[in-house]
């Protein structure tokens, strides 16, 4: 058996970590150790003492179940991850979670585990690098110049998202993306030959990738040769297919599913040490000479120092470009953008024409595009319907790397996960769009965005049965509630152009998670409001209309249904009923307001409450109580004009009025 002591250190730490936790996946780390050693020690540009160095190479472990591989690499390379951290693998509040988590462990670029999404994140990172380089690099000054590397396994290749994003990576010619495929032929169920017979090499070649076939994943020289060739050709992304043995070094379990997702067992751990010729019985022990050979601190500091000198010269030669690049990479907003945007939003307040909120979103983008040079986004093949192209937007050009509009094609999942990678890379204000119904395709990527707490803006148009004739396959019913129930996701369902502008502004200002803008196909009536009411929209809910000093009944609405609530309220007011209409474009934001404000908007003394929304009704019990009334959907939709559907499903101002009267 070939032995490489530097790679064996990864194997030892990985199996010891899994064994101590009695939980985890030792096989992949043991099988990929030789590949990791070549990449992390000899090739990758990174600085353990500054994991956020902006020009570092990015590394993504798409097969996130192999997390002990990454933790071992970080520890050995000199990152702030101690041997005690490794001993706490998979324990409560440790920095070595079961799958790598962004913002938990230094050096972890993204949260991975749901297979295939790490590859998508890597595509987004490579796209971000290419676009920034095209914008800021000058002759002799390659200030944006780094690679993105990803490890993935058979599971990532089987997931449908890998097809979506690999196709786009080839189309976009992301030549500084290098992916290592751990082709060990084993998944949890056993040998994958019974259910995975794709010719993966041909598949990626058809996407426009450079493919290196059948590389011995335990031969350092072969790995290095393929890696050097992959880096040399920057016109195409590269796939290096490495034949490896899962659980390499385990006499009784290597090459089998038994070492995929379970600890090896105490006896087998001892046998691995003997098989590898590892002289030390102490768990988690690595000799000093191996630590010294692994430590990347000095090399990383030199690499960053060299880049710092380059950037200092660039700054003297191109001061405005350098300042802009620094601003973008630091995540700072352009000066005075908010004041300028506020002026535009306020100017919309006097408009009288009905405007669909999807159109109002485009109106907002027309302004934001001029204020944010870092704006980068697009649609999953629905730009004319989502209205996501703005004045001055330019389609991304794979040849030059320039452009700020991305045509994702019909790839909703890939789009969302790629945009997560763009956001993680930094330097952009990213957004993506599709119909709300097809949020379902992107669902897990949205969840990952929320889990990581990264800013991404998801534009979902055609937000209700109001889209009409396309019928129940396209009419979202449960999707809004689904998004609202996702931890750390903020939704906005605006009732007119003004609320749409505020939704965009709030989504941009939010830096600790994603926002979903839920926008109508049909025109929405503009609402009258005071300056005070305008200022309260950003609080998630506010009193939009009121008759009388103390409300007897409160009507709550969002989006296109606010107009129904207003109509019902005016009819009630004519009958001398004291009525209040609360527009609640963002329940999640409202829930975070102080108790006094929430009580002022929804006084607990007023028990008579009616909520109206052309979406799943049961969500609203939290605001109206069990004795309140909800006008909403309790079934799938139908195919018909929107006006007919609202009448058929009883989502009308008359229904709101009758519900209020019943409560009173």
Q: Is 649 annotated as a binding residue?
A: no
Contacts of 419 (CB under 8 A, 6+ apart): 124, 377, 430, 431, 432, 449, 456
385 marked ligand binding residue: yes
pLDDT in the model for residue 2: 75
pLDDT score of 589: 98
CATH code linked to domain 337-518 = 3.40.50.970
Q: In Å, what is the CA distance from 38 to each residue of 101, 206, 293?
A: 24, 28, 12
154 annotated ligand-binding residue? yes
Q: 184 among the known binding-site residues?
A: yes
Tell me whether residue 260 is annotated as binding.
yes
3-class secondary-structure state, position 507: helix
Look up the CATH architecture of domain 5-301. Answer: 3-Layer(aba) Sandwich (3.40)
Mean pLDDT of the chain: 98
Q: How many CA atoms lie within 13 A of 424 on its CB side?
A: 34
pLDDT band of 350, cuts 50, 70, 90? confident
113 annotated to bind ligand: yes
Where along the chain do the CATH 3.40.50.920 domains lie?
539-662
**155 labeled part of a ligand binding site:** yes
Per-residue tokens: 145: 């110049």
- Per-residue pLDDT for 1 more than 80? no
215 is in an annotated binding site: no
* 25 in a labelled binding site: yes
* 301-345 residue pLDDT tens: 999 999 999 999 999 999 999 999 999 999 999 999 999 999 999
Mean pLDDT, residues 204-232:
98
Structure confidence at residue 568 as a pLDDT band (50, 70, 90): very high
Q: In terms of CATH architecture, what is 539-662?
A: 3-Layer(aba) Sandwich (3.40)
What does the pLDDT read at residue 3? Answer: 78
Q: What tens digit of pLDDT does each residue of 485-515 get?
A: 999 999 999 999 999 999 999 999 999 999 9
Contacts of 94 (CB under 8 A, 6+ apart): 85, 88
Domain(s) labelled CATH 3.40.50.970 in the chain stretch across: 5-301, 337-518
pLDDT at 586: 98
- Cα 497 to chain centroid distance, Å, stands at 27
Please give, one letter per residue, the 3-state secondary structure of 246-273.
CCCCCCCCCCCHHHCCCCCCHHHHHHHH
Active site positions, annotated? 412
d(C-alpha 55, C-alpha 75), whole Å = 21
Q: Is 186 annotated as contributing to ligand binding?
A: yes
């Amino acid at each position: 058996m070939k032995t490489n002591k530097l790679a064996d250190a990864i194997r030892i730490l990985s199996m010891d970590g899994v064994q101590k936790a009695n939980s985890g996946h030792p096989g992949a780390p043991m099988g990929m150790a030789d590949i990791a050693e070549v990449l992390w020690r000899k090739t990758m540009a990174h600085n353990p003492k500054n994991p956020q160095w902006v020009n570092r190479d990015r590394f993504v472990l798409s097969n996130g179940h192999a997390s002990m591989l990454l933790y071992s690499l970080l520890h050995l390379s000199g990152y702030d991850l101690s041997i005690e951290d490794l001993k706490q693998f998979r324990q409560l509040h440790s920095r070595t979670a079961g799958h790598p988590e962004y913002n938990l462990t230094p050096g972890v670029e993204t949260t991975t585990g749901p297979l295939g999404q790490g590859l998508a994140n890597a595509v987004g990172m490579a796209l971000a690098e290419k676009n920034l380089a095209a914008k800021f690099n000058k002759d002799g000054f390659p200030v944006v110049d780094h690679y993105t590397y990803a490890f993935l396994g058979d599971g990532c290749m089987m997931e449908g998202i890998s097809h979506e994003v690999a196709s786009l990576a080839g189309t976009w010619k992301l030549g500084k993306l290098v992916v290592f495929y751990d082709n060990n032929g084993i998944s949890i169920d056993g040998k994958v030959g019974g259910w995975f017979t794709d010719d993966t090499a041909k598949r990626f070649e058809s996407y426009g990738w450079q493919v290196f076939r059948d590389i011995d994943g335990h031969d350092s020289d072969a790995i290095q040769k393929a890696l050097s060739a992959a880096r040399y050709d920057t016109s195409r992304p590269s796939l290096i297919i490495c034949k490896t043995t899962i659980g390499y070094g385990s006499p009784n379990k290597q090459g089998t599913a038994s070492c995929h997702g379970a600890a090896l067992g105490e006896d087998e751990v001892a046998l691995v040490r003997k098989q590898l010729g590892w002289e030390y019985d102490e768990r988690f022990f690595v000799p000093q000479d191996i630590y010294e050979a692994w430590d990347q601190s000095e090399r990383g500091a030199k690499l960053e120092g060299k880049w710092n000198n380059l950037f200092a010269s660039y700054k003297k030669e191109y001061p405005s470009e350098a300042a802009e690049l620094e601003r973008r990479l630091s995540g700072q907003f352009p000066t005075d953008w908010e004041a300028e945007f506020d002026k535009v939003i306020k100017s919309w307040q006097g408009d009288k024409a009905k405007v669909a909120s999807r159109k109002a979103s485009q109106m907002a983008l027309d302004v934001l595009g001029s204020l944010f040079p870092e704006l980068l986004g697009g649609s999953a093949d629905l730009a004319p319907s989502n209205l996501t192209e703005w004045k001055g937007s330019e389609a991304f050009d794979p040849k030059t790397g320039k452009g700020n509009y991305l045509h994702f094609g019909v790839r909703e999942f890939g789009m969302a996960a790629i945009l997560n990678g763009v956001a993680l890379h930094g330097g952009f204000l990213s957004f993506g769009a599709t119909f709300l119904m097809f949020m379902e395709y992107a669902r897990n990527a949205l969840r990952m965005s929320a889990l990581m707490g990264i800013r991404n803006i998801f534009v979902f148009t055609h937000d209700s049965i109001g889209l009409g004739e396309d019928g129940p396959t396209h009419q979202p019913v449960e999707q809004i509630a689904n998004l609202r129930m996702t931890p750390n996701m903020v939704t906005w369902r605006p009732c007119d152009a003004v609320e749409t502008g505020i939704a965009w502004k709030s989504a941009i200002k939010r830096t600790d998670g994603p926002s979903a803008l839920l926008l109508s196909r049909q025109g929405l009536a503009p609402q009258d409001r005071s300056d005070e009411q305008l200022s309260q929209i950003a609080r998630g809910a506010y009193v939009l209309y009121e008759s009388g000093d103390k409300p007897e009944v409160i009507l709550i609405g969002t989006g296109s249904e606010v107009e129904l609530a207003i109509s019902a309220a005016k009819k009630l007011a004519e009958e001398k009923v004291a009525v209040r209409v609360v527009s609640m474009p963002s329940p999640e934001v409202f829930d975070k307001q102080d108790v006094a404000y929430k009580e002022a908007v929804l006084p607990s003394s007023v028990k008579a409450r009616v909520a109206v929304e052309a979406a799943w009704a049961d969500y609203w019990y939290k605001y109206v109580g069990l004795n309140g009334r909800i006008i909403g959907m309790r079934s799938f939709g139908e195919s018909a004009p929107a006006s007919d559907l609202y009448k058929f499903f009883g989502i009308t101002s008359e229904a709101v009025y009758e519900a209020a009267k019943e409560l009173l």
